[in-house]
Amino acid sequence: MPLLEKLCSSPRLARWALAPSLALAFANPAHADADEDSPAGVDDSPREQAKAAVQRGQRAFQAEDYAAAIVAFDEANHLRPTPKLDYNLGICHQRLHARARSDGTYDAERLHANAAIDAYNRYLAARPTADDRPVVEDLIRGLGGTPVTAAALKPAPKPPPAGETPAQAPTSGDSADDGRTKSQDPAPSDMSQGDDPVRPPEPAGTSAVALPRGSLVAGLALWSIPQMNAHPTVEAASMGALLIRAGVHFGARRWLFVGAGLAVAGVNNTQTTSKLGSAAQTFDALVGIHLPVGRGGRLVIPMTGILGAGREALRTRADIPRPACASGSGTLVGARWGGRIGARAGVLIFLGERRNHGLNIDLDGVANLYGRGPVADDCSQSVFQELAVPRARASIGVSLGYGVRF
């Protein structure tokens, strides 16, 4: 008792004895409050938070709320990164890309296409030998991107020296699917909704389909040549034509068009008893852009530049005398070649669920410049010069065609 009274009466010894109790009383009050408010047994570790975020993302995906699914999967990926979450993000952005494309909102379409390409490429970079690599690469190309280069195959291991026991290869249980060792990562059965989530299912008919690159159009046209309206000996003021065009479309939305066209036109000179008939063939190189208009991408405005060559021929009937400087045989009076340059604008209306065929209505304006043509024996000029057919002429054409894309 005297010793206890002595200890209590000493201020220095009293402070030394109370120090641990004061430290426990005032240390980390925030955690203490949190423990009082938190239910018993709740694990708020990053792993459990990632699991909860993945579950939210899957519920949002099933509800087709892809924007919310992206937020949840991105949160999980920051907490516990794994390649399959990048795959999930790619799918969600791909769905929003398809929705924006259907709505005709190009900015959103391009934004989600780029985000999907980046997410898929992160998945491929993390898993260069994934079994589904060809499928994911096709998805990236369909969105207008380029897949990351696959990692080179590792060389075959060299056989061990004679008498030495080869090292045992690790079993599937020694490492997780995303590269973390077993000691670092739980077994897959413990993280089925966490680090290695099940991929969201792909509903039928909603996966991204690459837009067609090729196109083929066939149709009818009517050409008008104002300079030939009042020509006294040649009927060429208007000509009917058959045409065919084919080409390739480039770019994420296939805006750029590069192709070629062929047309055959002529006048039925049986309708006149005094004029020669005219015929023409054209071969054109085509370069242009196709601008989508409105929602759904079913209406497109094609604008095309034309640069090509043309052949013009004059023909006669049996009951019409041949010109003096005719250079052909039979009903052919003469033919000559020339160059042409012009522009085309029109409307393309897509039909069908996949918008891979439709109607083309075009208006052409072309300037033609022909040579003088061959000169027959005993003539100083060609038959075209004899008949005063102008070498430089403008033509206007209207065409209606049916096209397919493939």
Q: Which domains does the chain have, with CATH numbers?
A: 43-151+192-202 (1.25.40), 214-405 (2.40.160.20)
Tokens of 98: 């398809």
Tell how strand 256-266 and strand 299-315 pair up: unpaired
- Given this model, what pLDDT does residue 394 score? 95
- Given this model, what pLDDT does residue 305 score? 97
Tokens of 361: 């209505």
pLDDT in tens, 336-393: 999 999 999 999 998 876 778 899 999 999 999 999 999 988 899 999 999 999 999 9
Distances (CA, A) of 234 to 192, 193, 227, 240, 267: 83, 82, 11, 16, 10
Average confidence score pLDDT of the chain: 77
Q: Alpha-carbon distance 154 to 26, whole Å?
A: 58
Q: Which residues is 398 bridged to in the sheet?
A: 222, 363
Estimate to the nearest angstrom the gap between the alpha carbon of 217 and the chain centroid: 21
Estimate to the nearest angstrom the gap between the alpha carbon of 211 and the chain centroid: 6
- Given this model, what pLDDT does residue 158 score? 55
- Given this model, what pLDDT does residue 374 score? 93
- Given this model, what pLDDT does residue 38 score? 38
- Given this model, what pLDDT does residue 123 score? 93
**pTM (2 decimals)?**
0.55
* Segments of the chain with pLDDT less than 70: 1-44, 150-211, 252, 268-273, 294-297, 353
pLDDT in tens, 82-105: 999 999 999 999 999 999 888 878
